[in-house]
Amino acid sequence: MCISGFHEPHSPFIVPQRFIDMYDSDSLTIPEFPSDVEDERRETEGFSDEELRNVTHGYYAMTSQVDYHVGRILDELERLGLEEDTLVVFTSDHGEFLGEHLRYGKGWPGYDCISRVPCLVRWSDGVEDPGRTESGLVESVDLLPTLLEAAGIQIPSHLQGNSLEPALRDDEFSARESALLESKQGRTLRTDQYRYVHARDGSESLYRIDQGEYEDLSGEHPDIVSDLRHRLLNRVT
């Protein structure tokens, strides 16, 4: 196994000019905000349209820098004749606030812009119908059992995570009903529709995924909060 880690994309967004030149700041989109947050944005230093586009520009350029170096690795696999025998996984440990929620960087409570990360798999002998996209929920802990099964190694019974190999082979695949995120600040449970947040201080909140996770709906949907609280406790106890 070979692991190649990249610090990028990560602030400060200092990147060679050739990657900067790949993008036009004026053509980049910025986050959409609810009306109340939009009003706050215009009164908050550091979140003007120009500043949001500059941050996005740097992030995109740095992502392209990573893409370039990943390409070098894939080219070397081909040069060594290992392309057909190698399973390649590209993923990330977190995303980035690019102005969403009037924040930059990373952090709690793991909204989608932070916790929904790429997971790309290339496996010449194992992926059926390459180019497919699986939209079901998975977790980072699913990667290790996937690699073990792909290599023909028995998955230890105590290991966390579910093998994703059926999805790679385009067999019947049962995605998770929810995805768990844990940090020192608390835990969140993400379903197709909601994110339930249980903070370390015991407070709870509930957000709709399709509404950008801005408005806490826990007071309006106590039944959903109760259900997701129960499901989270079942995961961690």
Nearest to 31 by CA among 119, 103, 118: 103
Please give the model's pTM, rounded to 2 decimal places.
0.91
The confidence score (pLDDT) of residue 129 equals: 86
Rounded Cα distance between 102 and 70, Å, is 31
pLDDT tens sequence across 102-117: 999 999 999 999 999 9
Domains and CATH numbers, the chain: 1-125 (no CATH), 177-237 (3.30.1120.10)
The confidence score (pLDDT) of residue 172 equals: 82
The confidence score (pLDDT) of residue 198 equals: 98
Rounded Cα distance between 11 and 26, Å, is 21
Tokens describing residue 74: 């894939």
User: Exposure string (b/e) for 21-57, b if CB count within 10 Å is 16 or more?
Assistant: eebeeeebebbebeeebeeebeeeeebeeeebbebbb
The confidence score (pLDDT) of residue 15 equals: 96
Rounded Cα distance between 91 and 94, Å, is 9
Rounded Cα distance between 53 and 62, Å, is 14
Regions in the chain scoring below 70 on pLDDT: none
